[in-house]
Amino acid sequence: MAVTRFFSCVGVTHRPCVLIALGFCLGIVLERFIPVPVWGWPAILSAVFIGALVPYWRRKSFGILLACACVCAGAAALRSYTALADNHISRFIGLPAGGELMLKCRVVSEVENKQTARQVRVKFTAEAMELTAGGVSRRVCGRVLVTVFRAAEVAEGSELLLSGNLRAPSSFGGRGRLSYTETLSSQKIRAAFNVKKRGLCKTLNNRGVFFLPAWGRFCRWWLNEVYARYLSPGEAGLMQGLITGERSGITEHVKEIFLRSGTSHILAVSGMNVAMVAYGIFFVLSLLPVPRTVRMLAAVVLTAWYAYVAGSSSPVVRSAVMSSVFLLSYVLEREQETLNTLAIAVLAIVVVNPTQLFDVGFQLSFIGVLSLILISPLIVGLFPEGKQARFWNEYLGVSIAAFLGTTGIVAYYFGTITPVSLLANIPAVPLVALITALGAILLIFSGIPFFASVVAVALKTALNLFVGILYLFTLIPGGFFYLDMIPSLWQALMYYFLLLSLIWFTHHKVRIHPVWAIGL
């Protein structure tokens, strides 16, 4: 009875996906922090299943059984994702070679050519195939991050023979809790192979790439090329960041402006971009004589394509899944529920890659949306009502909710707090919407130079106005500061516990004694 009441309280009885996602994520967290033997999870699941057969429990036990099954599934997913094969390349790090190692591998990522004043570097991810050390060859598997410290002709999909040294990826020390090694590890990269200036980098054969990734790369290249043609390098870099998520072209001072005005989320392709793309596609298709269902399905497919072109990071996949579920709910004539949709998006990401649960981008994206769903209506309710005021109340409510929701994570990972973001986001969000729309128009007119140059001037003005306004916000004293001591995990969790308590009390209109309120 108590369990049923608990489930109905948290709203999972009519939101099954929320229960499944919560259980799955709990399983991943338990597996990461509490070492359970291999037989542990099946044993727990069997015990709960046997318990469910007892007549007294039968009616009430379905929810518990489902939750336990999800927990076990989450734990199993993380274990299988992080398990290493016996011949995994990372097991040969520190091998006494008695000379250089030879690695045969296949390039599986885009090849990044980086040229600095001192050196040229070619960087890519490869699937290891064969490792030769001290005259002994062995078949190996697993991904490896390859860096060639000279100019080299490398194409995606080609098989290479490299000579160099194998090591664990460097964890670049810095402030905050972000770890480069963990980021690589979540991409299944546990080893790095360096080819020095005189090292061997020979292409054995080139099988090419499957046409879908090739088309994705071509689309990204075309988008970047159009902006580079009509805008200055700084402007083109920012546009590429906003539309395709390619951040390498954004200048350092612009990154600093975004960081200090608390608007860095704009540089990540996320919900707003995907929503605008979905709306744009739907709008263009609505001009054609096609049935509504076909339009919606086409919008789903093209949104997924945009998410792929934009790099498939957690925020963009989350928003693509949410918008697809939203559109499909109309096609299937099903009622749509925001929390359920968010839970489906969580599942879509963590089932494919369970380590994404510990990724800062994933956490910021989902907690941001969750705070918009849970906190924003409560804040709007605190303001005075009125037809004119309603728009501003909602706008301010969204900004405050996003700030409250993400502050804990930002402080935990980056050790910064940005109160000015509450103000900076108010002009920033509509300006970015305008800039995205202008960017889309520039792409449409890119084939007609006169119109394209006219739109490009409007876009340049909007971009400079936008960054100029953000720069003014960075001048406000106390708008951004570094914490002297980065909060611990328990402090961050305590912050979210207090935030949830306040949401709970406000939602249930519980009157708190002033002393308790001050204490909270």
Partner 1 sequence: MWPFTDQERQAALFLVFVLIAGISIKLIFFIAPPAQASLRVLDDARYRPKININRAGYNELITVPHLGPSSAAKIIHYREARQRIRNPAELAYLLKKKPRTVRVLSGYFQWL
| Least Cβ distance, residue 393 to partner 1 (angstroms) | 25
**Mapping DSSP to helix (H, G, I), strand (E, B) and coil, where does residue 475 land?**
coil
325 binds partner 1 (CB under 8 A): no
Contact yes or no for 124/111 (Cβ under 8 A):
yes
467 binds partner 1 (CB under 8 A): yes
End-to-end Cα, the chain, rounded Å: 31
Interface residue with partner 1, options 482, 497, 504, 516 (CB under 8 A): 482
User: Which one, of 4, 64, 16, lies nearest residue 343 by Cα?
Assistant: 16
Angle between helices 271-286 and 421-444 (to 10 degrees): 40
Q: Which residues contact 316 (CB under 8 A, 6 or more apart)?
A: 245, 268, 269, 270, 273, 274, 307, 310
290 binds partner 1 (CB under 8 A): no
Interface residue with partner 1, options 196, 217, 247, 460 (CB under 8 A): 460
333 binds partner 1 (CB under 8 A): no
**Mapping DSSP to helix (H, G, I), strand (E, B) and coil, where does residue 223 land?**
helix
200 binds partner 1 (CB under 8 A): no
Q: How far apart are CA 152 and CA 148, in angstroms?
A: 7
Contact yes or no for 146/169 (Cβ under 8 A):
no
| Least Cβ distance, residue 12 to partner 1 (angstroms) | 38
Interface residue with partner 1, options 40, 415, 419, 487 (CB under 8 A): 415
Contact yes or no for 159/126 (Cβ under 8 A):
no
Task: Name the residue with tokens 């992080």.
Answer: 82
454 binds partner 1 (CB under 8 A): yes
Residue with smaller CB distance to partner 1, 181 or 464: 464
Q: Which residues contact 414 (CB under 8 A, 6 or more apart)?
A: 176, 178
H-helix segments, 10-84? 16-33, 40-53, 55-58, 61-82
Interface residue with partner 1, options 57, 413, 451, 495 (CB under 8 A): 451
The size of the interface with partner 1 (CB under 8 A), counted in residues, is 42
Interface residue with partner 1, options 214, 352, 475, 520 (CB under 8 A): 475
Residue with smaller CB distance to partner 1, 190 or 260: 260
- The four Cα atoms 310, 311, 312, 314 give a dihedral, to 10 degrees, of -100
Applying the rule CB under 8 A, the residues between 237 and 256 that interact with partner 1 are 237-238, 251-254, 256
Residue with smaller CB distance to partner 1, 471 or 505: 471
260 binds partner 1 (CB under 8 A): yes
Q: Could you give the string, one character per residue 204-233, with x where binding to partner 1 holds by CB under 8 A and - elsewhere? A: ----------------------------xx
170 binds partner 1 (CB under 8 A): no
Q: Contact residues for partner 1 (CB under 8 A)?
A: 175, 232-235, 237-238, 251-254, 256-257, 260, 283, 286-287, 415, 437-438, 441, 451, 453-458, 460-461, 463-464, 467-468, 471, 474-475, 481-484, 486
